[in-house]
Amino acid sequence: MLQTLRSFLNRPLAEDFDARTQFWMAIQSGLYVFLLAGLINGAFRGGKMLTVIVGLSLGCVATVSFANIVLARLLPVVYDEDRWTVWRHMLHTLWVLLLISISNELILEVSGIGRPSFGKMFLMVTTIGLFPIMLGVLVAEQRRLKRNLAQAQVLNQQLDRQPATPVAQPNPLPDATLPQPLVQLVSESGRERLSLSPAQLRYVESVDNYVEVHWLNGAVAHKTVLRSTLKDVATALGQHPQFFRCHRAFLVNLSAVVHADGNARGYQLTLDGVNQTVPVSRSFLSAFNGRLKAQSSFPIRP
């Protein structure tokens, strides 16, 4: 039972902290408060109560915008979409509801209308707001999942239709079967070097202050750890257009992609010769899709 609960709380959850998306959600929250509080308190008959309900609604919009937009930019490590999980979202939701409760208390105090204790206010706000917030998250996640699954099918159709020879096109990805200049990946100290053919390199993952370079020697997969950054690796591979930064912590060889699976966060790419899948996160989806559309086909894989 405990293991099941822990697994549920640690389940990845798709979230979009884009300012436009979150502001629209804040507007929806304000409208929800206006309609629900107005109906409960009979505010739509006019009078001072209507003014108070409008104030509570605007306070809700401002509070949700602050929590989901301002804080997300001030604390990017905490509000990392790629690490967002169920338990993180539950804590964040309680934090937002706490801020709304504080806002409500201040507005009612200024208006001179009797207000409940803060404990009762927080309980009431949580009871009213928790369900629509979680429902909205689940609906948005399912919508993103459906969209990404459909796009992944399109990508797989492209992979299945690749021709026997590369199609001539502007700035094509290089043919992996032809000899290519070696690339050199160097550690920060300069003492560690890894020389590879671009066709050997599968993906690079950033882990703390190091990068893990995953590559093939024939059919055997290898991993080399270098003290470096993903940015430095991307610079070293800049002359080879088949390498693409697809995630905060991953850079992938597009020529090695054999399959794509969609999920609510983005894609999971399967590469030739390695077991580990490589994620394409939401923030890189648009650039990734655009990059693949610019290529009418993938080159031959080694």
98-129: pLDDT as tens digits: 999 999 999 988 888 777 889 999 998 998 88
The pLDDT assigned to 265 comes to: 81
Percent of the chain with pLDDT over 70: 88
The pLDDT assigned to 180 comes to: 60
The pLDDT assigned to 45 comes to: 66
pLDDT at 170 over 50: no
Instruction: Compute how many other C-beta atoms are within 10 angstroms of the C-beta atom of residue 39.
Output: 11
- Rounded to an integer, the average pLDDT of 135-141 is 78
Is the pLDDT higher at 295 or at 88?
88
- Rounded to an integer, the average pLDDT of 250-255 is 92
**Beta strands across the sheet bearing 278-280:** 257-262, 267-271, 278-280
Alpha helices in 10-117 (DSSP H): 19-41, 48-65, 71-74, 86-111
204-244: pLDDT as tens digits: 999 989 999 999 988 899 999 999 999 999 999 988 888 99
22-33: pLDDT as tens digits: 999 899 889 988
Rounded Cα–Cα distance for residues 302 and 293 (Å): 22
Instruction: Give yes or no for a contact between 128 and 135, defined as CB atoms under 8 angstroms apart.
Output: no
- Rounded to an integer, the average pLDDT of 56-64 is 93
Distance of CA 131 to the CA centre of its chain: 23
* Residue that the structure tokens 């309609």 belong to: 35
| 3-state secondary structure string across 40-55 | HHCHHHCCHHHHHHHH
> Among 84, 49, 45, 46, which Cα is nearest to 68's?
84
Q: CA 164, 170, 173: angle at the middle one, nearest 5?
A: 50
Percent of the chain with pLDDT over 90: 33
Amino acid present at 194? L
Contacts by 231-239, CB closer than 8 A, 24 or more apart? 232/188, 233/185, 233/204, 236/183, 236/184, 236/185, 236/186, 237/183, 237/198, 237/201
Task: Identify the bridge partners of residue 257 per DSSP, sorted by sequence position.
Answer: 271
pLDDT at 198 over 60: yes
pLDDT at 12 over 80: no
